[in-house]
Amino acid sequence: MTFNNLNINWGHAIAIAALFIVPMVATEYWMSVIVLPVLILALAGIGVNFLTGYAGQVTLGAGGFMAAGGYFMFAFAMHGDIRSFPLALLLAGLATAFVGVLFGIPSARIKGFYVMVTTLAAQFFLSWLFIKVPWFYNYNEVPNVTLPPMTLFGFDINDDPVVKYYFTLITVLALTWVATCIIRSPIGRNWMAIRDMDTAAGVIGINAIKYKIIAFAVSSFFIGIAGAFWCFIFLGTASVRSFTIERSFQILFIIIVGGMSSIRGNYIGAAFIFLLPILIDYLVKTFLGPILGGSLDSATLSNINKIIFGVLIIFFLIKEPEGIDKMVRDFTSRFKNRPLTVKQNKT
């Protein structure tokens, strides 16, 4: 008998249970500033993974599509007078998916480096659009967006951090389940066939252009939802500066470090990428600062973070291209395949 016979992923069950009890055992700071952004970034990572990890289309436009999700949700709330938070969130995701299709149509006909350039153009175009068109920020003096009071089935989504946390957690977990179903469906298998060799996929009857456009749409939907959460659940008030090209690189690094073509890897990568700078900042200030004879300024800390991130990205690309998730699988497989032995007493 082996542990595989149990057919229960206890690690996932324990992790989900731990996320649900966070508001009960942790401070508001840990809940709202540490765990909440990791969940949102993991959702954005899932969206990028659809396009890059499964469909093989490298994207640098995640920041722009996150901004689209936030600004579209604000537009639906203000101009469409939609005050239901879930409905405005869903419409923002669908609108972002439509934008993804618009950029996916020309991108689906090109490959490799040219796809990356196209998504980079989407990043800069969307950032420009939300600054230059005042309609998107309700003709305010500055292009910042803040939601009016919203409703959520009788709960206080506006000021209660616990309600914000649980709504985000349930939504992220539900979309993770949807993502898993998509990957296991014929759509996901066709994406992987196109990623591995699109010419061979065409030979067996897979319409590569069609499925690439679908990948852009689904990816943009997930990223748009994540962007709306980042704007109005995590930040509260956001602007285009919250979604620069650095945000796009951050999401890309999440799937590289966590593991491309892995749903679980998005959570691992998000926790790693978001929490590592906090850890580095603490260690540098605690140990390196006194050695250098004083505190370090923010510019120096930022450069140290970039150096460490650069080294880690190079390490994962060379040593373990499948990311931390592959390391976790290798480690746990040693115990899953270990037989259960029962010691017998000699008589």
Q: Which residues contact 229 (CB under 8 A, 6 or more apart)?
A: 40, 43, 89, 168, 171
* pLDDT at site 261: 87
Residue 269 maps to a domain:
no
For residue range 233-265, list pLDDT tens digits in order.
Answer: 999 988 999 999 999 999 999 999 898 889 999
* pLDDT at site 2: 42
Task: Band the pLDDT of 5: cuts 50, 70, 90.
Answer: very low
- pLDDT at 154 > cutoff 90: no
* pLDDT at site 344: 56
- Percent of the chain scored above 70 by pLDDT? 91
Q: Give yes or no for a contact between 1 and 339, defined as CB atoms under 8 angstroms apart.
A: yes
- pLDDT at 103 > cutoff 90: yes
Residue 7 maps to a domain:
no
Summarize the confidence of residues 32-45 as an average pLDDT.
Answer: 95
* pLDDT at site 339: 59
Residue 264 maps to a domain:
no
Q: Which of 101, 128, 150 is nearest to 243 (CA)?
A: 128
Take residue 54 and report the two structure tokens written for it.
């499964």
- Work out how many domains the chain is built from and give that number: 1
Residue 323 maps to a domain:
no
Residue 30 maps to a domain:
yes
φ and ψ of 146, to 5 deg: -140, 130
Q: Which of 248, 243, 229 is nearest to 129 (CA)?
A: 243
* pLDDT at site 293: 58
How many C-beta atoms surround the C-beta of residue 300 within 10 A?
14
DSSP label of 145: E
Residue 145 maps to a domain:
yes
- pLDDT at 7 > cutoff 50: no
* pLDDT at site 287: 73
Instruction: Say what the pTM is.
Output: 0.90
């055992």: which residue's tokens? 25
For residue range 299-310, list pLDDT tens digits in order.
Answer: 777 777 778 777
Residue 276 maps to a domain:
no
- pLDDT at 291 > cutoff 70: no
Q: Which residues contact 282 (CB under 8 A, 6 or more apart)?
A: none
Residue 273 maps to a domain:
no
How many C-beta atoms surround the C-beta of residue 112 within 10 A?
10
Summarize the confidence of residues 160-173 as an average pLDDT.
Answer: 95
Range of the domain at 37: 20-243
Summarize the confidence of residues 205-232 as an average pLDDT.
Answer: 95
φ and ψ of 172, to 5 deg: -65, -45
What's the mean pLDDT when you consider all of the chain? 87
> End-to-end distance of the chain based on CA atoms, in angstroms?
25
